[in-house]
Structure 1
Amino acid sequence: MTTLTVSAKFSPFPFAAVATAAYTQKAEIVYDEAVTRPVLDLNGSTITVEADIVHALSKAGGLSEDSSKTATFFALAKTLLTTTAVPEIITALDSLDDHLAFRTFLIGHDLTASDWILWGTLKGNIRIIGLLKNNKHAHLNRWFSYLESLESTQAALASLTAAKASKARSTKVAAGFALGLEGAKMGEVVTRFPPEPSGYLHIGHAKAAMLNQYFAKMYKGKLIIRFDDTNPSKETTEFEDTILEDLALLDVKGDVVTHTSDYFDTLYGLAIQIIKSGKAYTDDTEQAQMRKERMEGIASAHRNDSIEENLKHFAEMTAASPEGLRWCLRAKLSVDDNNKALRDPVIYRCNTLPHHRTGDKWKVYPTYDFACPIVDSIEGVTHALRTNEYRDRNPQYRWMTEALGIRNVQIWDFSRLNFIYTLLSKRKLHHFVNTGLVRGWDDPRFPTVRGIRRRGLTVEALRQFMLLQGPSQAIVSLEWDSIWAMNKKVIDPVAPRHWAIVQAKSVPVTIKGGPNTPEVKSVPKHKKNPDVGEKKTVYSSNILVDQEDAQSFEDQEEVTLMDWGNAIVRSKTTNASGQVTSIEMDLHLDGDFKKTKKKITWLAQPTPENPLIPVTLLDYDYLITKKKLEENDDVNDFITPVTEFREAALADANVRDLKKGDYMQFERKGYFVFDGAGADGSLEFIRIPDGKAAGLASKATPVAVAEEEPTKMYKVESVYGSNVTPEADTKMYKVNSIYSS
């Protein structure tokens, strides 16, 4: 076996070697803190120089090369590895930027070893990364960002993060998606994501969808989106559209969309075949009794009925006759296997409701356990990814393919995603919608794809988080801090900065030395990223500050007014309750902002020419007060009484340029996502958690009490107006896409 062994403690870390191994899939990556240099064991030989490792892996992976040009770029990488003089580094970066002005890659039209060795060298040099952040090398930044955005690179970086967190002395890529799938061949891998069209996707589904897409892309294969539409009692065409919209919100797009119902004729024929082979029988045992017999390992009274009797009963089932409706079809696996999933599972049952695609053609439908392995085999799926809650059913899956003599499929399982204070049960989520505790399936408090995206979670952060989890089999309830911290790293570099003052607590300030009439100047929306653009800031002798800031000012204290300069507090007026009602300051632009303790946000008092914009800042609590509900817990006993917190504020006029779904930061207040105009006309902004413990603690505990009486969520008006209509058969709600194109 070819292995690349590295240590997470290496400095600089061999990013080029690890990224090349992940991209070419030609070496298993092992983290071992005992090694002192990277080691590639390839075909009996050992290679320890990173440049040689990249060469060897690129050759093994079939990456094309031009030896003369490659030598030039490898020499440049070696120079950058040892050069510390900034002017020399900048010259090299300028040269690379010019070279990439009309090129996608360094050499030719595909990635080569040269791309990987230089990308790894730049990635491992903090000084170079700092220079690239100045955005003076647009072409080089574009190339660098592209290589870093590749699924294989993200997996490699996630593996490093996981290895650093691991206490084990030797760890095989804890987030080992870079290791790939067993038996996978480039260009031949086919994965599938098979949701039931009976509801909205949640964050657990997101993991499955993203992993299936990840492997399909990694191996240049195919992703099938297959609707498992075998239960007409729950499924509708509307939910298929909803799920496709949810997948679009995740940037997941299949190469083909299919339905299990496309194969109903084939499945029915195979059901007849399995009966004739003596490996299935019909059963009219009542449901409760059947469950009891399965639990106790007791054979059904019909287990040994003749093939003729079973075919007769199955024909009655097909016709949905009064007699047939009493029966189901069971696979004859085992009566008393220790794995209860193998105790003669039901594989066909009657349902007289019309199917949303096939209408009244069928009255019998296959179960998921029967249909899934068959359709996987028929559609050419090579690897079936499933959560490990299905692990007991894996032998059942294999039994079906073997009993029917069809192609087997490789199963690859992973742990289900569970979060504290979070419900993923469709039934429990229905309860919150139907009782009005939330506004709909895209409510920001919901773990649905629509809910978490509306709350401000980016696809990039979600993907990184999934890769970081890797093929872990541990079933644990995860904290939300990691995923929101990752999200902050994604949005912080590009989120425009704005200011807001809480309306009810605003304090007027008179600035002596300020402009006689308001002045408008352009300032960067993001001080560290000029590409975000500029905004208009109004400067005036009359401004507003937050009450909390006003309370903190000491007499004669010098403070910094952000984006303006220093000012000295000369007087402060308070009322009987201790609230500050007005302040006077002297502008002191010669003051040193480095010496002030307080840097505050402010807004010029509104005028007809320079108005402030009414906004509502929304924050949310968890829907339940218990970290994890046990099986016998009644959800009604753990509902958080108040879960929405609204605060009226005034914001700078630049927020009018934002579009629904845009991320931004109200400086010193947090990150927000613009959610559109509210019923009162104010612009609504939903606070995005940043991963800090205080922001993620349950607000239902006595420690965190809202300063104002918040709005209770038991009776709420629909955010969708009169368009929301409960569907009689599903009690679900049709909602429009939360982000219009």
Structure 2
Amino acid sequence: MAVKEEERLELFLKIGLDERTARNTIANNKVTNNLNAVIHEAAVTEGCDRTIGNLLYTVATKYPANALVHRPALLGYIVTIKIKTPAQLEAAFSFLSSTASERFELKEFEEACGVGVEVSEEDIEQTVNEVFEQNKGSILELRYRTNVGDLFGLVRKRLPWADPKIVKKLIDAKLYELLGGRTAADNEKALKQKKEKPAKVKDKKAADDNPSQPSEDLNPFLIFPNPEENFKVHTEIFFSDRPVLRCCNTKEVLDKHLKRTRGKVYTRFPPEPNGYLHIGHAKAMFVSFGLAKERGGCCYLRYDDTNPEAEKKEYIDHIEEIVEWMGWKPFKINYTSDYFQELYELAVEMIQRGHAYVDHQTPEEIKEYREKKMNSPWRDRPIAESLKLFEEMRQGMIEEGKATLRMKQDMQSDNGNMYDLIAYRIKFTPHPHSGDKWCIYPSYDYSHCIVDSLEDITHSLCTLEFETRRASYYWLLHVLDIYQPYVWEYSRLNVTNNVMSKRKLNFLVTMKLVDGWDDPRLMTLAGLRRRGVTSTAINAFVRGIGITRSDCCTIRLERLEYHIREELNRTAPRTMVVLQPLKVVITNLDSGLVMDLDAKKWPDTSTENSSAFYKVPFSRVVYIEQSDFRMKDSKDYYGLAPGKSVLLRYAFPIKCTEVVLADDNETIVEIWAEYDHSKKTKPKGVIHWVSEPSREVDPLSIEVRLFDKLFNSENPAELGDWLADVNLHSKVVIYGAYAVPSLRDAAIGDRFQFERLGYFVVDKDSTSERLVFNRTVTLRDSYGKSGK
């Protein structure tokens, strides 16, 4: 296979095609070229969910040729999962082919394709029951010879936007309820029909409607089981000195849990209040809050505040604010410290059951003994003695560092997280939430799983690095004989050219290598917000990545920027700003004359809509970018040069007639030009500009901050000297940029597209005398164009 074909094969596999389909596609040049173009237009060259990939394949093979102008818009709906089923895609094809090259109203398009329509499982179940009732006689007669595809079609006719997987599941369940299990006769007749050609055609139609085709679940949360299924074995714990422990809920424990929760899904988002949240936490929020929302359940915001030395009220307030900004509403806000009394009582119970002991080893000794897999000298001390010492720890009678409570697990295990983990340690430090009530604090390994159980969490969702802790998580719940939630691990989110470690982020902030936790160069959510990134774009980015266990790659920054541009392209009004002003005097325009020209604020809006425009003053003196003028012209240059013309955007063509130089005969002071108000001249180059309205009024002067990648390397965290990789040019401040007068009333947080320059947001440093803008992202979409 040629190198180019190998590259195409790899690209097609990345979007979820199976290898056979991908190879067959490469054998067809037309489909190959179409699919390659679609993948790049959709900006998913780094890969995507298989469901999206299947829809893209359908676009490549079935898209109406007379509506190619609308294909990018359709692909945007697909990659943002607004169009997510074959039925919606078919409706889109029909709508767009009838619209052809004409503009269309998005509202009409979305209504035609069922965008935003959510069909509940209850509605689907009711419709399936009605279809079965109407066709009951035929179904009972044909039994399993009934064409499931026809039943599927009847349901789909009534509920065109229903989830096909749920439809198929309910149809199968209803068939079994009505007919019972298959008999030998059912199987025999099915085999006979399979040989007939008409049956094959019908079967193919049924397969087309069957959601069990090679595609991923349309809903990323379908991978999670329902609460009533939580009776299965969670994990097997292998001990060195006793039989294998298979942890699971008993029927009695599960029934009591379901009665307390009424079968609802309960999740939690449990950040530690020891720093600001970063984009990895955005994924954690999406998974935990998203699952609860999708299932009609509840999600706690639970502060994991077991280390009073590292926690601050500042962080607590920040987390609550950011969760709300990201669009999530907690069912309840609580703290691990709310359960300190219950945790203490369960620790006493654990000692009484012989599963914990008070230890006097130093941290260094504990580390050494763990490395050698040796038991602590105090591991077998009498239960009564450990109970007495633990009470003395609680009363503050033992010095800090002189005793800990450790769980009696298995020091010979192959899993280091079973090496008698610490449950409690002494800290004479007031707690931000509970004050000075306690001088012993539970560890994460002890408290996390217990609080999950106490809160009846159905799905304890965490990243893959916690996978090895499953054993200790379930061991502890098992020995305490309390309810066991599902634990589900997913891959953590890393983004290129950034660090995600809180320790590293804290170092950057405390060493003043950045301007605080909300520095726009950081991947903290506060930094992204200050940079002008919307929570909608972040959530779309996270959803596009999906909930997988693949932890072998880092997501390219360009992929995030793609979603940012998609959002801002729809929401940020256009305006004009000149960063490095060069004065141009238009000599054939009267000095006192100022014309108000119409500039497009929303280019895609109808010209009859006055709100799509804003007024730009045009006068004898204008300012252009220094980079838009050269003393020497060339064929590949479309800016202004001596004797050359360019079009001032929204205004007139101008021609450079003279260049005024300073005394050094090199520095350009100003350009003289003439304009052609008839617009008969049609130069190729179009440049932006800002006018000087009159001699008495200066152009609006602003400060502009341009941000670039904080680190030069894609994976700085893997470098030995990661600080040496900091990009020294990641922030450039431009003073004295000129803006159109309409920006004078811009407020903090307002977002704009500066034409030809990028998307910008008004920074919080702005005052009534000085506007400061941060560049959110450039206009160039390197993710979509380069395929990276």
The alignment's TM-score, normalised by the length of structure 2, stands at 0.67
> Which sits farther off after the overlay, 242-251 or 549-558?
549-558
Q: 2:619 aligns with which of 540, 549, 554?
A: 540
Question: Distance between the aligned counterparts of 1:492 and 1:307, measured in 2?
Answer: 67
Name the residue aligned to 1:675.
763
Name the residue aligned to 2:650.
563
Residue 545 of structure 1 aligns with an amino acid whose one-letter code is I
Residues 221 and 476 (structure 1 numbering): CA distance in 2 closer, same or farther, change over 3 Å? same
Question: Distance between the aligned counterparts of 1:357 and 1:30, measured in 2?
Answer: 45
Q: 1:122 aligns with which of 92, 96, 100?
A: 92
Name the residue aligned to 1:581.
669
Check the 8 A contact 1:456/1:663 in 2, yes or no.
Answer: yes
Question: Distance between the aligned counterparts of 2:120 and 2:408, measured in 1?
Answer: 43
Residue 733 of structure 2 aligns with an amino acid whose one-letter code is R
Name the residue aligned to 1:147.
116
Name the residue aligned to 2:226.
183
Question: Distance between the aligned counterparts of 1:352 and 1:413, measured in 2?
Answer: 35
Residues 383 and 124 (structure 1 numbering): CA distance in 2 closer, same or farther, change over 3 Å? farther
Question: Distance between the aligned counterparts of 2:514 and 2:412, measured in 1?
Answer: 45
> 1:391-540 alignment to 2 at 5 Å?
391-472=467-548, 473-503=550-580, 505-510=581-586, 512=588, 517-529=593-605, 533-540=612-619
> Which sits farther off after the overlay, 180-189 or 137-146?
137-146
What does the per-residue CA deviation read over 1:74-99, in whole Å, with 9 as the maximum and x for residues that have no partner? xxxxxxx999799xx9xxxxxxxxxx
Name the residue aligned to 1:720.
none
Question: Distance between the aligned counterparts of 1:306 and 1:652, measured in 2?
Answer: 80
The alignment's TM-score, normalised by the length of structure 1, stands at 0.71
Residues 130 and 634 (structure 1 numbering): CA distance in 2 closer, same or farther, change over 3 Å? farther
Q: Say whether residues 1:332 and 2:332 are aligned partners.
A: no
Measured after TM superposition, the shift of residue 497 of structure 1 is: 1.2
Residue 180 of structure 1 aligns with an amino acid whose one-letter code is I
Question: Distance between the aligned counterparts of 2:118 and 2:687, measured in 1?
Answer: 37
Residues 187 and 543 (structure 1 numbering): CA distance in 2 closer, same or farther, change over 3 Å? farther
Check the 8 A contact 1:480/1:691 in 2, yes or no.
Answer: no
Name the residue aligned to 1:260.
336
Measured after TM superposition, the shift of residue 227 of structure 1 is: 1.0
Check the 8 A contact 1:196/1:228 in 2, yes or no.
Answer: yes
Q: What are the ranges of 5 or more consecutive residues in structure 2 without an aligned counterpart? A: 1-15, 26-30, 36-48, 71-82, 122-159, 164-212, 229-261, 631-638
Check the 8 A contact 1:388/1:415 in 2, yes or no.
Answer: yes
Matched position secondary structure for 1:394: helix
Question: Distance between the aligned counterparts of 2:276 and 2:101, measured in 1?
Answer: 44
Measured after TM superposition, the shift of residue 507 of structure 1 is: 2.4
Measured after TM superposition, the shift of residue 264 of structure 1 is: 1.4
Name the residue aligned to 1:223.
299
Measured after TM superposition, the shift of residue 490 of structure 1 is: 0.8
Q: Which of these two proteins has the greater Rg computed from alpha carbons? A: 2
Q: What is the alpha-carbon root mean square deviation over aligned residues?
A: 4.2
Residue 543 of structure 1 aligns with an amino acid whose one-letter code is V
Question: Distance between the aligned counterparts of 2:17 and 2:720, measured in 1?
Answer: 47
What does the per-residue CA deviation read over 1:157-177, in whole Å, with 9 as the maximum and x for residues that have no partner? xxxxxxxxxxxxx97539971
Residue 403 of structure 2 aligns with an amino acid whose one-letter code is W
Q: 1:656 aligns with which of 734, 741, 744?
A: 744
Name the residue aligned to 2:268.
192
Q: Say whether residues 1:356 and 2:444 are aligned partners.
A: no
Question: Distance between the aligned counterparts of 2:267 and 2:613, measured in 1?
Answer: 45
Measured after TM superposition, the shift of residue 558 of structure 1 is: 3.1
Q: Say whether residues 1:173 and 2:216 are aligned partners.
A: yes
Check the 8 A contact 1:175/1:468 in 2, yes or no.
Answer: no
Matched position secondary structure for 1:330: strand
Residues 554 and 198 (structure 1 numbering): CA distance in 2 closer, same or farther, change over 3 Å? closer
What does the per-residue CA deviation read over 1:541-565, in whole Å, with 9 as the maximum and x for residues that have no partner? 3322222212242444332111123
Name the residue aligned to 1:600.
687
> Which sits farther off after the overlay, 431-440 or 404-413?
431-440
Check the 8 A contact 1:512/1:584 in 2, yes or no.
Answer: no
Check the 8 A contact 1:606/1:612 in 2, yes or no.
Answer: yes
Q: How many residues align?
A: 595
Measured after TM superposition, the shift of residue 571 of structure 1 is: 3.4
Residue 434 of structure 1 aligns with an amino acid whose one-letter code is T
Check the 8 A contact 1:428/1:635 in 2, yes or no.
Answer: no
Residues 219 and 540 (structure 1 numbering): CA distance in 2 closer, same or farther, change over 3 Å? same
Check the 8 A contact 1:123/1:129 in 2, yes or no.
Answer: no
Q: What are the ranges of 5 or more consecutive residues in structure 1 without an aligned counterpart? A: 14-27, 39-49, 51-80, 90-112, 157-169, 697-741
Percent identity, please.
28
Q: Which has the higher helix share?
A: 2
Check the 8 A contact 1:151/1:218 in 2, yes or no.
Answer: no
Residue 618 of structure 1 aligns with an amino acid whose one-letter code is R
Name the residue aligned to 2:720.
633
Q: Say whether residues 1:665 and 2:753 are aligned partners.
A: yes
Matched position secondary structure for 1:492: helix
Residue 502 of structure 1 aligns with an amino acid whose one-letter code is L
> 1:713-732 alignment to 2 at 5 Å?
none
Question: Distance between the aligned counterparts of 2:668 and 2:288, measured in 1?
Answer: 57
Name the residue aligned to 2:350.
274
Check the 8 A contact 1:507/1:581 in 2, yes or no.
Answer: yes
Question: Distance between the aligned counterparts of 2:572 and 2:741, measured in 1?
Answer: 16
Residues 425 and 283 (structure 1 numbering): CA distance in 2 closer, same or farther, change over 3 Å? same
Residue 116 of structure 2 aligns with an amino acid whose one-letter code is L
Q: Say whether residues 1:618 and 2:588 are aligned partners.
A: no
